[in-house]
């Protein structure tokens, strides 16, 4: 089955891979490159590189906000802004 690459950048990368791998065709070069990534890479390394879940990221943000504490109820925003703008 022939491989049709419509994206020009992907086509360029496939051609570069063909030259580097000394593959007879771009299809063969793509097959070799994919095999190196998928077949030869141990599955455990993919799991280690996984990003934290949304729940874990949110928990980290919530913990940081709790660490910062509550705002000062006696803080005067108007006075602060007036002083900043030299009013």
- Residue 44: the pLDDT is 60
Domain extent listing, the chain: 8-84
- What string of pLDDT tens digits covers the 87 residues of the chain? 677 778 999 989 989 999 998 999 988 998 898 888 888 766 665 556 678 999 999 999 999 999 999 888 899 999 999 999 987
Distances (CA, A) of 79 to 27, 28, 76: 69, 70, 5
- Residue 46: the pLDDT is 53
d(CA 19, CA 39): 21
- Residue 45: the pLDDT is 55
pTM: 0.43
């Amino acid at each position: 089955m022939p491989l049709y690459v419509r994206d020009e950048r992907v086509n360029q990368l496939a051609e570069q891979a063909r030259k580097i791998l000394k593959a007879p065709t771009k299809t063969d070069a793509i097959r070799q490159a994919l095999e190196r990534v998928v077949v030869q890479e141990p599955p455990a390394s993919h799991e280690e590189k996984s990003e934290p879940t949304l729940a874990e990221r949110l928990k980290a943000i919530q913990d940081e906000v709790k660490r910062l504490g509550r705002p000062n109820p006696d803080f005067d925003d108007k006075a602060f802004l007036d002083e900043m703008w030299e009013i």
